[in-house]
Amino acid sequence: MNHQKKIGLVLSGGGYKGIAHLGALLAFEEAGITPQYISGSSAGAIVGALYAGGYSITAIKSFFKKTPLFRFNKFTRKKPGFLDSEKFYDDFSSFFPENTFESLQRTLFITTTNLIEGTSKVFSSGELIKPILASAAFPGIFSPIKIGNALYADGGIMDNFPITPLINHCDMILGVNVTPVKKPTAKDFKHAYNVMQRAYYLMSIANAQNNFKHCNILVEPEELVNYGIFNAYNLDKVFELGYSEAKKQLITYRANQEN
């Protein structure tokens, strides 16, 4: 593989399933592939930011395991959402003491949704933590984040697979999509979060399919359809699914290059 290429990595949203991104990253590292440019949405923004900050896969995996979402002290008061996104600020401040994109070791693009304008907004400079929180602010669960005069929420609403920022920078693009979709039955909708999860998946399909074709390698573990975006159990299994699928796609890529 040509190590002189400018390599980009796009990471989709997907809640706790974002830990599969880390499994894929481990497979890429073992193959000697190091992306210089990273674009992420929602969970992909969190993983991408920590990886761009130079943190190891082990450290990022630990962050996911040690940062439970539904703690009593995180609930909102007089804000739209069950959980107050800004109360997660301190969870990131120790990882990003300088709190800027410019302090990162790799170029990072974070996709959010401007709720006022109804448009996608990409952050790549200046303050870092608020765009991360905004990109992961799942609608209805997490409160949106105010940046300047606008309110921003989950990047997956408008662009769950944000490849566009990488196209003009990279010779090779790796993609990891952790939100494959299966057709549910009526019996699958037992709780409100089942409905919200389904809505999220439908949004991700609508705005991601056309972007997949730009990837030189696309990692999309099909078995992830059996795991929920808010389910913090079986994270090691989710990690392994990302790893094994990335290894499989790397073998396929190399075989195609040799033919």
CA 43 to chain centre: 3
pLDDT at 114: 96
Q: Please indicate whether residue 84 is annotated as part of the active site.
A: no
Residue appearing with tokens 């389904």: 198
pLDDT at 26: 98
Q: How far is it, in rounded angstroms, from Cα 68 to Cα 74?
A: 10
pLDDT at 13: 92
Q: What is the DSSP string of the chain?
A: --TTS-EEEEE---GGGGHHHHHHHHHHHHTT---SEEEEETHHHHHHHHHHTT--HHHHHHHHHH--S--GGGB-SSSSSSB-GGGGHHHHHTT-TT-BGGGSSSEEEEEEEETTTTEEEEE-SSB-HHHHHHHT--TTTB--EEETTEEEE-GGGT-SS--HHHHTT-SEEEEE---------GGG--SHHHHHHHHHHHHHHHHHHHHHTT-SEEE--GGGGGS-TT--TTHHHHHHHHHHHHHHHHHHHHHHHH-
Q: Please indicate whether residue 94 is annotated as part of the active site.
A: no
pLDDT at 43: 95
Q: Which of 39, 41, 42, 204 is catalytic?
A: 42
- 117: phi then psi, degrees, rounded to nearest 5: -85, -20
Terminal Cα-to-Cα distance of the chain (whole angstroms): 14
CA-based Rg of the chain, rounded to a whole angstrom?
17
Residue appearing with tokens 């790799």: 106
Q: For the chain of 259 residues, list the mean pLDDT of each consecutive stretch of 10.
A: 79 94 98 96 97 97 80 63 83 96 98 95 98 93 93 92 94 94 63 63 66 93 89 92 98 87
Q: How far is it, in rounded angstroms, from Cα 105 to Cα 141?
A: 31
Q: Which of 12, 41, 154, 204 is catalytic?
A: 154
Q: How far is it, in rounded angstroms, from Cα 38 to Cα 102?
A: 14
Residues 6+ apart with CB under 8 A from 3: 32
pLDDT at 57: 97
pLDDT at 70: 52
Q: How far is it, in rounded angstroms, from Cα 254 to Cα 88?
A: 41
